Structure 1
Amino acid sequence: MKKVTSVFWVTLAIAMFGVVWGSVAPKNLQEITGSIQTFISVHFGWYYLLIVTGFVIFCLYMIFSPYGKIKLGKPEDKPDYNYATWFAMLFSAGMGIGLVFWGAAEPIYFYATNAPTAETGTPEAIDEAMQFVYLHWGIHAWGIYAIVALVLAYFKFRHGAPALISSTLKPIFGDKMDGPLGKAIDVIAVFATIVGVATTLGFGASQINGGLTYLTPISENFGVQLIIIAIVTVLFMISAYTGLSKGIKYLSNTNMILALGLLVLMFIIGPTLYTMNIFTDTIGAYLQNLPSMSFRLAPNSEENRQWINSWTVFYWAWWISWSPFVGIFIARVSKGRTIREFLSGVLLVPSAVGFLWFSTFGSSAIKAQQDGAGIADLATEQAMFGTFDQYPLGLLMSIIAMTLIGTFFITSADSATFVLGMQTTNGSLTPPTMVKFVWGIIQSSMAAVLLYSGGLQALQNALISAAFPFSFIMILMVVSLYKALRADKAAIERDQNQEKNSA
């Protein structure tokens, strides 16, 4: 524990306070976080929509601008991982459990129960459901991750700065980032990461329990979820002990194999033609309506506004709270790539896979619902398993899905302990194992407490509350990066002119 900084102790104290609070007074924790979540959603929904779309626009600008040629590293640096492994690692860390949890549940819920604007159960509701699923899980989500990852990778590998959020703001604040202000920024980033990952682990434990309940006599309750969290905690701590190049790398590749296997199996066994028709039709509508969906706030309709707060604002907060963790991890594995190569890969490849994923599982669930299966009546965490049950090899797909949830669970938690270790040891790329173990226990404890205090709703409340302050830091990171890139580009041009003159 010699490498730890004050950020470690301050954030640990805050996190432990949250765990104790949730254990002693769970209803009070749910009420407080619920009030904060409502206030932020009602008063700052416009803010979330503007900044997230702004991040996407900035990423697209960077791809096509002259800055895209700048390498995330020294001119001679080469990528540490090939494309296949790189995509697998960022995809596993960036989406993971959420894809399995919401793959069938979100499309079927929008279609049959709560469409954004269309009448539920209609063809219009199908189109609308898939478009908003693409919005929530596509380019906007990865644009949030890409911003944090790009800024960190640029300052770390090109300028040798510590892999800390605070170090990326030095072009704006200078040496103040070495003092209390910088420490406060890192504490916000670390705490947002803890809550974001804990929320996802809570979803994972809930769905594993839901699958067991659907397939076996095991009941769905907090006690079972606590046992699941405890088992997976042991497994991901074993993985964390093996290090980045072994544990996370192998698990990420395993995740991709299982995920692609499940996707292909469902695509073949499910309503293949219907899936391709839905995908082709809705992806076009998504691209056509992307600008209007990105800014849709419905100020004159209380019902529609509530839908946006519950879904779009929730997702933007989820991705923002995950962005310190995912961003740092993606940055760590992206050394040697140009900005253009990096942003193109991070924005487009995972989004495309996500679109195919939701088209396949969403259309299969909708088709089963149309045939009278009643998928929409199941609990959210059971929707995927209920969909499998309507097709051949359903039990096999359920087993693969539960295994995938477990490996995603382990990968996300393992990656998060690594990132939290970096952030609390002054950016060390090899944080001590004991530090990673401490954060592993804290993450799992936070997930358990949030489930105990109010289930999935408490997870969402905590998420939106924790993400809000970090969103302001992200805006500063964009400004800082642009300022540094302008100076970098000017220096490169100056050196090139000097070489020409000397020749």
Structure 2
Amino acid sequence: MNKVTRVFYISAVVAVLFIIWGIIPKDVLPNGNLNDVTAGIQSFIVDRFGWFYLLSATGFLLFAFYLIFSKYGNIRLGKPGDKPEYSYISWFAMLFSAGMGIGLVFWGAAEPLSHFHTPPFGEAGTAETAKTALQYSFFHWGLHPWAIYATIALALAYFKFRKQSSGLVSAILEPLFGNKMKGPWGTLIDFIVVFATVFGVATSLGFGAIQISGGLSFVFGWDQTITMQMIIILIVTVLYLISAMTGLNKGIKYLSNANIALAILLMLFLLFAGPTNFIMNLFTNTFGSYIQNLPGMSFRMTPFDTEDTWIKDWTIFYWAWWLAWAPFVGTFIARVSRGRTIREFVLGVLLVPTIFGALWFAVFGGSAIHLEFFQDKNIMQYVNDLGTEAALFAVLAEFPFGTTMSIIAILLISTFFITSADSATFVLGMQTTGGSLYPPNSVKLVWGLLQSGAAAVLLWQGGLQALQTASIIAALPFTIIMILIVFSMLKAFREEGKQADLRRKK
């Protein structure tokens, strides 16, 4: 099933048109340039539909919990005798690397530090605010995003491996809409999936180039120039295309395992070189607060404080961003999860990355806050002067072997980007060849070059923010698709349950 579908041609043309739109100078299109148009649409969506994102993300988490304890938990993602294709270590490594590994490196120190100085509520810079800062970092990177990923990934894996459907997102909705999903409506849904993936990953490639160049600048004193960032994108593109061409069982698997090893090494170093007792006490205390306050945070809005934009800028932005990334990450997690039961799948996808992510934020964010709170170091000044990407390197510089650890961090960022990008080329190949588990290298090459081209051109033109906003706009229709997916899955589970009951009665 390697036939290139019309979704490929439509998506490729739209992607090229968006890139052309993004590089048209502002004076040529004073009222219609990409940046202003997408910013206006995104602002409207967040202002009017923030509550919808909040309720939807929490709904997906409740659905995931329901599946763990329901009678459907024993259903296997595959034929009854199928065994998992990958070991637990490789499985966790791949889903984690594709899901948000790079984001943790980028925001591990920067986000808690930002909340410490600009908290969601309370006075900045206090001990209580330090706990709140870490609690909200756990919240933004914890159960909610992984529940979003688990929902779409479970649906794709169930229909692909158990029902032998095509593996496209549109195919999941066939229990609800039947053959309508094989026509224009199905094409539209698959296009939304590809659109969100292309621009989400292209944005991350651009921001990744900025962080790698920021690290090289911080460590070696090199000037952060657009030329350096272009060279970084070129090198990363060559590496991830080589990895993507070797397939899942070689390039992506080995790189994902290397990522986890490097990430754990960096985290353990800072844990023991830094204020170990403070970090673990903070982790234990904050993780308890996160679980205790999860219901309140999940529904928190500020209807009486119209001037307060914190929730819009952080929580709602994150929920939209995770929803925009869900088709890409979900397709990839589904591909590597054949043979697991629904209960095992949901528990693994929800709990392991959430606990690891919380520990990561406690180590890096806790170290940054400790430096400011107890040692009067102004890490935030580096962020203000050099950008968000400098926070990690500013923290590492305060500890022994800081330069060596910063070089390891740059290497980790690079390998995370390679795995995210080559996972994305696989997913885009799969979604534009009718769901093929082994998309042809030529299709992966086209998507790889298109992603990198978008990142490079818009980084050069200063339009990366517009690309990120465009990707997030796609989250709104995809959230509606996700809600329909939940109902479609439940209908399919019920049908399977009825058939099992009939067989038992015979």
TM-score by length of structure 1 reads: 0.96
Give the Cα separation in 2 of the matches to 1:369 and 1:219: 27
The 8 Å contact of residues 270 and 364 in structure 2, kept in 1 or not, is answered as yes
The 8 Å contact of residues 156 and 334 in structure 2, kept in 1 or not, is answered as yes
Cα distance per residue 1:428-474 (max 9 Å; x no partner): 01101010011011111222344345466445423321222211111
Which of 31, 36, 49 is the matching residue for 1:31?
A: 36
Matches within 5 A, 1:285-296: 285-296=289-300
Instruction: Give the stretch that moved more between structures: 370-379 or 255-264.
Output: 370-379
Give the Cα separation in 2 of the matches to 1:156 and 1:400: 38
Q: Does 1:335 align with 2:338?
A: yes
Give the Cα separation in 2 of the matches to 1:293 and 1:455: 33
Q: Does 1:107 align with 2:143?
A: no
Query: 1:493 is matched by which residue type in structure 2?
Result: D
Give the CA deviation at 1:269: 0.5
Q: Does 1:207 align with 2:211?
A: yes
Give the Cα separation in 1 of the matches to 2:242 and 2:468: 29
Give the Cα separation in 2 of the matches to 1:175 and 1:482: 19
Q: Does 1:314 align with 2:317?
A: yes
Q: Does 1:351 align with 2:348?
A: no
Give the CA deviation at 1:280: 1.1
Residue 4 of structure 2 is matched in structure 1 by 4
Q: Does 1:364 align with 2:372?
A: no
Q: Does 1:427 align with 2:430?
A: no
User: Structure 1 residues 454, 292: CA separation in 2 closer, same or farther (over 3 Å shift)?
Assistant: farther
User: Structure 1 residues 399, 446: CA separation in 2 closer, same or farther (over 3 Å shift)?
Assistant: same
Give the CA deviation at 1:22: 1.1
Identical columns (%): 57
Cα distance per residue 1:46-103 (max 9 Å; x no partner): 0000000000000000110001111111101110011111111101111121010000
Residue 98 of structure 1 is matched in structure 2 by 103
Which of 387, 395, 399 is the matching residue for 2:403?
A: 395
Matches within 5 A, 1:146-157: 146-157=150-161
Query: 1:484 is matched by which residue type in structure 2?
Result: A
Give the CA deviation at 1:25: 3.3
Give the Cα separation in 1 of the matches to 2:145 and 2:94: 16
Which of 436, 440, 457 is the matching residue for 2:444?
A: 436
The 8 Å contact of residues 52 and 140 in structure 1, kept in 2 or not, is answered as yes
The 8 Å contact of residues 202 and 459 in structure 1, kept in 2 or not, is answered as no
Q: Does 1:325 align with 2:346?
A: no
Q: Does 1:487 align with 2:495?
A: yes
Give the Cα separation in 1 of the matches to 2:220 and 2:42: 36
Residue 462 of structure 1 is matched in structure 2 by 470
User: Structure 1 residues 150, 475: CA separation in 2 closer, same or farther (over 3 Å shift)?
Assistant: same
Q: Does 1:43 align with 2:48?
A: yes
User: Structure 1 residues 260, 29: CA separation in 2 closer, same or farther (over 3 Å shift)?
Assistant: same
The 8 Å contact of residues 455 and 464 in structure 2, kept in 1 or not, is answered as no
Residue 251 of structure 1 is matched in structure 2 by 255
Give the Cα separation in 2 of the matches to 1:294 and 1:452: 38
Cα distance per residue 1:312-368 (max 9 Å; x no partner): 111111111111111011101101111000000000001100000000000101111
Give the CA deviation at 1:152: 0.3
The secondary structure found in structure 2 opposite 1:302 is: coil
The 8 Å contact of residues 73 and 154 in structure 1, kept in 2 or not, is answered as yes
Q: Which runs of 5+ in 1 are unaligned?
A: 499-503
TM-score by length of structure 2 reads: 0.96
Residue 136 of structure 1 is matched in structure 2 by 140
The secondary structure found in structure 2 opposite 1:154 is: helix
Query: 2:16 is matched by which residue type in structure 1?
Result: M
Superposed structure 1 runs of 4+ greater than 6 Å apart: none
Instruction: Give the stretch that moved more between structures: 45-54 or 440-449.
Output: 440-449
Give the Cα separation in 2 of the matches to 1:460 and 1:282: 31
Give the Cα separation in 1 of the matches to 2:115 and 2:370: 14
Which of 480, 483, 492 is the matching residue for 1:475?
A: 483
Give the Cα separation in 1 of the matches to 2:448 and 2:376: 43
Query: 2:451 is matched by which residue type in structure 1?
Result: Q
Q: Does 1:164 align with 2:168?
A: yes
Give the Cα separation in 2 of the matches to 1:368 and 1:72: 47
Residue 231 of structure 1 is matched in structure 2 by 235
Residue 446 of structure 1 is matched in structure 2 by 454
Residue 501 of structure 1 is matched in structure 2 by none
Q: Does 1:283 align with 2:291?
A: no
The 8 Å contact of residues 255 and 407 in structure 1, kept in 2 or not, is answered as yes
Give the CA deviation at 1:372: 2.4
Cα distance per residue 1:478-501 (max 9 Å; x no partner): 111011010011111111111xxx
Give the Cα separation in 2 of the matches to 1:71 and 1:426: 23
Cα distance per residue 1:162-215 (max 9 Å; x no partner): 010000000011001111111111001110111221222222111111111211
User: Structure 1 residues 220, 84: CA separation in 2 closer, same or farther (over 3 Å shift)?
Assistant: same
Give the Cα separation in 2 of the matches to 1:492 and 1:450: 53
Instruction: Give the stretch that moved more between structures: 20-29 or 428-437.
Output: 20-29
Give the Cα separation in 2 of the matches to 1:456 and 1:315: 17
Give the Cα separation in 1 of the matches to 2:41 and 2:288: 37
Give the CA deviation at 1:221: 3.7
Residue 269 of structure 2 is matched in structure 1 by 265
Matches within 5 A, 1:13-92: 13-25=13-25, 28-92=33-97
The 8 Å contact of residues 163 and 427 in structure 1, kept in 2 or not, is answered as yes
Between the two proteins, the alignment pairs up a number of residues equal to 496
The 8 Å contact of residues 154 and 342 in structure 2, kept in 1 or not, is answered as yes
The secondary structure found in structure 1 opposite 2:359 is: helix
The 8 Å contact of residues 189 and 470 in structure 1, kept in 2 or not, is answered as yes
Query: Cα RMSD between the aligned structures?
Result: 1.4
User: Structure 1 residues 393, 455: CA separation in 2 closer, same or farther (over 3 Å shift)?
Assistant: farther
The 8 Å contact of residues 170 and 187 in structure 2, kept in 1 or not, is answered as yes
Give the CA deviation at 1:2: 6.9
